Structure formats: structure tokens, C-alpha cells
Structure 1
Amino acid sequence: MRKKSFLVLIILTFVLEGVIAGILLYRSRDIEQDTVAINDCIKVIEENFGQNDKYLTTRNYSLIDTDGKLLYKNAHDISTSVNEAVKNNDTILDVKQGDKVVGKVLFHNDTQERIGKYQKAIAVTILVISAVQAVIIIAYVIYLKKTIVKPFDELSGFAERVAGGNLDIPLPMDKKHTFGAFTEAFDIMRDEIKKSRAAEKAANDAKKEMVAKLSHDIKTPVASIKSASEFGYELAKEEKVKERFNLINFKADELTVLVDNLFQSSVHEATEITVSPRENDSSSVREAILHADYLKRAGDFTIPECKVFTDKLRLQQAFDNVFINSYKYADTEIKVDAKLEGEYLKVSIRDFGPGVTDEEVAVLKEKYKRGKNSEGKDGAGIGLYLASYFLKEMD
């Protein structure tokens, strides 16, 4: 609509310019001396010769006698002699009294002046209309910049952001400009891509989390099988039986390595592990500790009766990692204490190994970080990181 309005305005200004110029040019053709007015002046002069106050002033002229003496003139800068009149192409007419010529009237030729006025009027008209056209064009350029250039630049920037993976910044929408409908469609596309990527990420994380959960859950029974096979190996007397127990132990080690690799790969790739705490009895804490302590190093302990806000699965995995680390690095008896402190149930798990320095305690809670005493021990520095992460998410 605005484009049509602009074209109409431009066309109208050109038409107006042409019409005005045509009128002025047409009028400029009619600039010859007005013979009727000249004849009227001559007639009045002849009738009132010598009475200057009765002469007409409709034309600029001067009156001289037959000797060239100036008798009258009604304007400045006009011819006062025949020679000057001839040079200026003035109209020269005789004044008679009867049949006798008593003087001459020199009518001023103002043709050039009138032509100049018309030319000036034409120039001013063209200049004014051109200025109006310039204003209209500038206004339209600004309009185009606002409705086409700027939105196009925004679309280009939006495309670059989407190509770079930035899907969080929406595209400003304005249905008034040319790309209004397109910007809305592009922003809907951005939103759908964002949702699609979020769904894809959630699905991948869920898959990786499931693999991590399964691999971790397999580790505990495998460790129990390994422990039982080692115990059976020590008790067996027949060589064939010992070989069977040794094979079970060897295969358990292989399975442990495979499960560890699968677990580490899944945890490394997963960007988020879901923790969903809910209200449970404190007896669930005791069960988790008993299940984690498959070597029965903790002995007897009690847990005060209360309600706890935990995710059973994640709490079990946290205790599993703590006990596995104790078995691996301390290999001593384990002491478990539990007591109520305000609104919290505090559980302390302690072994009697060499321990770690205060500086290492914070580091061990980071992903892929291990203590100085980990040389020669299998592991990837994931266990305590996950235990700390799960407990923080349940707080």
C-alpha cells in the first residue's frame, strides 16, 4: 500500500511540474507589446498634449518633441532619445496635433524583463517541486530501510545465530514490514528446532543414564561374585575346583573392566543425571548401606527412626561408591555411625586406612580426579564425584 502511495506522489509531482512549466511557457509566448494599450496612450497624449498629469500610465514610456527634448517620462531606466529607443527595440510612434507631428512617444520594450521573470518563475517552480520529490524519495528510502533492509539484516543475523547453535534469542516480529510473516515463521522454526534439540538431548541423556545405571548396578553383584569366588578358591581342596573358582574370578575381572568402561563412557557423555528425591523411612538408609557393604566390613550399626527425603536409587549408588573406594584403597574394617542433628539425619562412614590430605578432599569430589594413592588401582575418578553430586541434588 505504501509503495503505491509513494509512486502516486512521485507521479503527481512530475505531472504538477509539467503542468506549471507548460503554463508558464505558454504565457511567456504572449509577451509582445500590447498594441491596444499603446494606442490608448497615444490617443490620450494627443488629446491632452502638454498636460502631463492626464497621461495614462498603463505602459512605461517617454515623450520627446521633434527636437529630441524630453517632455515627459513615467519610469526610470527607459529610453529618452530615438537612438536609445532603436538600440532597445522600443516602439516609436509619432504624436500629432492635426496633421502636424509635434513629438514622439518611446514605449519601453520590457520583453526581456518579462522573459526573465517567467524563466525565474519556472526555475523556482522546478526547484520547489524537485525539493518535494527529494523529500518524498528520502522518506521512502527511510521507509525501505526500516521495512526491508533492517528486517533483512535481522534475518541474516538470526540465521547466523541459528547456524551457530544459539536458539535462545527470539527473532523480533513486526507484521508491518515486508518480512513480517517470514520472521514469525522463522521464529516458530527456531522454537521448534530448540524443542527438538531439547527432546533429543533428553532422550540421549536418558539413554546414557540408563546405561550408566545398568552398568553401575551390575558392578555390585559382579563384585560379590568375585568375592565369593576368591573365598571359594581358598576353601577348595581339589585342584579342578580351584581352577573353576579361578576362572570365575578371572571372568569377573573381565566383566568388571567392561562394565567400568561402559559406565565411564556413559557418565562422560551424559550432561545431566536425574535425581528425584521423595519422603522415605530411615530404614531405607540402613538397607542401602547393607547392600553396599557386600564384604560385610561395617559390622553392626543402628539408624534412628525418622523420615528422610531421598532418592533410593541415587542414595544406593552413592553408598556403593563410598564402600567400593574404601575396599579398594583402605581395605580395613568400616565404622558406621548415624544420629539426628536438627532436621537432618547425619550418617558417618569411616575406615582405618591412610586417608588423604585436606587439599585432596575437595579435589576428589570433582569429575575424573583421583588421589595420590590411586597408582596401580583401576578407576576413573567418577565414584566420589557421583556420590557428592547425588547427595547435593537430594539436599
Structure 2
Amino acid sequence: MSTFRKLAAAVILLFIAMIAGLNIYLLCSVNDSGIYRVEAKRLADRIEETGSTDISGFPHLTGVYSGEQLYRSDEHYLIIEAGGTPYRVEYTVSDKNRTILAVDLVMGALFLLVILLLIFIRRHIVVPFGRLNKVPQELARGNLSVPIPEEKSRLFGKFTWGVNLLREKIESDREKELSMQRDKKLLLLSLSHDIKTPLSAIKLNAKALARGLYKDEEKRRSAAESINSRADEIEHFVSEITKAASEDFMDFEVTHGEAFLSSIITRLSDRYAPQLSVSGTEFSIDSFDDCILSCDPDRLAECLQNLVENAIKYGDGRRIGLSFDKMDGCELITVSNTGCSLEEKELPQIFESFHRGSNAGKVQGNGLGLFICKRLMSLMGGEVYADIRDGCFCVTLVVKMA
């Protein structure tokens, strides 16, 4: 806020200085009074040549007199001589004060507009923004109860509404995460307790067999079957633990709708074409037949962005391309990049969560990009698959057409 006040004060002072400087310039500038001398000289030449005293072609001259009226005037005049006869030539002088007044009126109107504009910016942008500047910090600290003031301004109304939605989403995700962690903890505690019973039975039967307590073959066989049965129970519990640990940890929301393929590709091109051009990477988009896709436009764009980001991180930076095809009522969108160093045997695992290929190296990442793509495409009724063609890594999204 203080910065804006300083900026506004500087603008106002600069404007006042401009007005003062313009007034000084107008006061000190040479007016057009010298023009009448030129016109008087031209009139004298005409009188000598033609004898005519017509002044219709001289806008700054108002009259020509000679004889007895030579010096009878209260107007501005000068004396010229033509053909040996003196003439009194009256002329007009521009009113400098009126010019300065007109300029001051125009500059005053502009100054008033600047003041109104600064007031508008302060009231509708600076002040609302000042009320919101602490909200992101509080959200980052985990304070989800921070008040978010409502704004009726069209400039900030949607922004505050969006921030409020963000807070609600963070709060909802936190509650889901806590609930999930609590349920998993209870499940693990319950399963670990249940494992103890068959484990104890296994240990008792194993000790009895080891010490030769069972002399009868039938009892030894029964003890072995009991160990096998209890091991099956433990295997079942381990499967439950594995299942609980591998449950989806991310909640995806998809809004089904329709979108033109061209609009999705335009969004992608506008975002990455300038960036890749600067880095020297060729970004090619093959020609395609525009069609209407049955999808969530934002989620489909997110999938394509994930694929392009992967191509930037794991490719060799020479070329990233988009190609298109149609098959069985679906649009196939393929993102490819040169410099693939992934082995084909790893392709079945690349869509698993937290999986990182052998080509990851020191590239930062968490192994979720392709996993997210697969989940989103599945929720939109589509599919995604990857393959390697001529040293290029290719990922294809299969999107249903409307």
C-alpha cells in the first residue's frame, strides 16, 4: 500500500511539473507577431507593383491607411513605404493568455482523469489485493480457517472465489488424508494382531515336529497341514496389508463434457511452443482433422502437459512432436520425443505409481506423471499406452469422439 502511495505521489508531482514546464515554455516562446512583418513587406511589394491595397490574402493584417489617417489609430500598427508613400498597416497579435488558458484547461482535465484513475486502481485493485496478500501465507502454514474477504469487484471477485475454493479443497483433502491414514493404521494394527494367532500355532507345531513329540505319522501329517493352513492365513493377511498399502492415494475428479480437438492443441501449443523455441527444441504438430472429443477438457490438457513435460525431461532436446490418428470412433493423440534410452522390457511398469525408469538418472521426479495420465484417461473412458519407435519414446492417448 505504501509503495502505491509513493508511486501515486510521484505521478501527481510529475504531472504538475509537466504543466508548470509547459506554461513556462508558452510564456517564453516567441509568438506569431513576427508574421505580420512578413505580410506587411509582401503588401508593400504588391502596392509598388500594382498599386492595390487589398489585404484579403494577408490574415494577420486588418487595415491599410495613408494620408491624413496615417497616425490615427489605437490598434497595433507599423509604417511601411511603397512607391515613396508611407502607409499605416494595422495587424492583430494572438492572445497568448488565451492560449495558455486553453492548454491549462486541457492539462487540468487530463490531471483530473489521472487522479480518478489512481483512485479507481487503489479502491478496486490495491486495497482488495492488500486484504488478500496474507491468505497464501496462512494457507501454506496450514491455517485453513483464515478469513477470505468477499469482493464484489469484477476484477477480484473471481479471484477471491477461486482462493476460497482452493482453501476448501485443501481442507477436504486434509480430512480425506487423515481419515485414510486412520483407517490404514487401524487395519494394520488389526491385521498384525490377527497374524499373531496363526504365527503362534505355526511355531508350536514346528517345535513339536522338531523335537519329535509326534510319534504317530498321522499326527505329524496333521501338524504339517496345520502349519500349511496357518501359513495360508498369514499369506492372506499379508495380501490385505499389501492391498491397503497400494490403494489409490490420490483422488481424481473428472467432469465429463465435450471439447474441440483444436482448442486442446492450441492450449498446449501456446504454453510450450515459446519455451521450446528458446531452448532450441523442435516442437512439431502434425496436421489433424478437427473433431469434438468426449472428455474433460482441463483433464485431457493436463494429461498432454504431463506427457510433454516428460518428453522435455527425458528426451535429448532435439525434437518433440504431436501426431494424430483415428480408430474405432476414437482420436489417437501421440506425444513423441527423440533420444529414448528406456528399455522395452520396462514399458509395462511405467504407468505404475512411483515407478521411475532406468533412464531417470539424476532427473528430478516422483514417478507419478504417467500414473496420473492413466487414471485420468480411465475415468474419461479412454486409454493410454506407450511404445518405442525408431529410437523415439511415444505415448498415445486414446480419446473417445463425441
What band does the TM-score fall into relative to the shorter chain? 0.3 to 0.5
Work out which of the two has the higher radius of gyration on C-alpha atoms and give 1 or 2.
Answer: 1
TM-score, scaled to structure 2: 0.33
